[in-house]
Structure formats: structure tokens, C-alpha cells
Structure 1
């Protein structure tokens, strides 16, 4: 009977050791889970912050692109108007030269009173 008691004691000791090993492994796994949950929360916060920053940047870019488009439109309109002014100036200059030439010829053909 003493052999049975010794065997039972051995089994009991091994069982306790196995349970302690399992508890130790569980605690290590739990520590890893907590660590990864902390990292996950940090990453989620980083994503939230970056998403908000991206949204602000997109709004700012849209505003600046609209302003740039306004500049482009104003520049194009101004350049077109300026070209019309240049064309009108050239036309006016040609008319003035032609009229001045005509007046000069008319002045030369008329006798002078002296």
C-alpha cells in the first residue's frame, strides 16, 4: 500500500507541476495579450490622428486648388484682354499712320499762301 501511496504522491506532484506550468504559460500569454492590446490601441489612436490630419490637409489642398484655379482664370482673362488692347493699339497706330500720310500728301499738294 505504501507503494501505491508513493505512486499517488508522485502523480500528485507531477499534476501540480503541470498545473503550475499551464498557469505560468497562461500568465505569459496574458502578458503578451495585454501588450498587444496596448499596441493596438496606440495604433488605432495614431490612425485616428493621421486620418484627422489627412482630412484637414485634403480640405486645405482643395481650398488652395480652387484659389489657384481662380488665379488661372483671372490670368487667362487678363491676358486675353491685354491681347485685345495690343491688337486695338496696333490697329489705331496703322489708322493714325495712314491718316497722317494722307494729311501729309494733302498738305504737300496744296499751295502755300505767302
Structure 2
């Protein structure tokens, strides 16, 4: 009976080796899983921080764009008003020159 018993001991040894190898692989894989879970956790934290930063930047950008729009409108209105003032000044100057010319003619001695 040493034949079947020896075979059984051989199978037992191979099974134990196979199981030990599988357990070692599982342990290695568990280490990789822990590393990747830690990396995922770090990345999720960064995503959260970046999402918050993006929201703050977007809000700030919207405020700045609105302020620039207000300045653009104010500049356009001021330039238009200034143009009207220049136009009115030119008209007033023309009228004044005409009046000066008329006053000069009225004060000349008549022949």
C-alpha cells in the first residue's frame, strides 16, 4: 500500500504548493488593490478640490465679464456724449463767428 499512500502524499504536497502559490498571488493582488484604492482616493480628493476651484473661478469670471460689460457701456455712452458736445461746440463757434461778423458790419460807418 505504499504506492497509493505515496501518491496521495505527492498529491497533497502539490496541492499545498499550488494553494501557497495562489495565496501569494492573492496577497500581491491585494497589495495592488490597496495601492490603487489609495490612488483613487487621492484623485477623488483632487477632483473635489479642482471642482470647487473651477466653480469659484467661473463665478469670478462671470463677475469680471459683467463689470467689463458695464465699463464698455459707460465708455460708449461717454464717447457718444463727448461727440455731441464737440458737435454742439462747433455749432456754437460757428454761430458766434457769424454774430461777430454781423456785429462788425453793424459797427462800420455807413457811406
Which aligned segments of 4 or more residues in structure 1 are displaced greater than 4 angstroms? none
Distance 1:39 1:110 in 2: 106
Q: TM-score, normalised by structure 2?
A: 0.96
Distance 1:67 1:76 in 2: 14
Distance 1:76 1:109 in 2: 52
Once the two structures are superposed, what CA deviation does each residue of 1:20-79 show, in whole Å capped at 9, x if it has no partner? 011111111111111111111111111110000000000000001111011101111111
Distance 1:84 1:102 in 2: 27
Q: TM-score, normalised by structure 1?
A: 0.94
Pairwise CA distance, 1:18: 0.4
**Residue 75 of structure 2 aligns with which residue?**
75
Query: How do 1:29-40 residues align onto structure 2 when only pairs under 5 Å count?
Result: 29-40=29-40
Pairwise CA distance, 1:4: 1.4
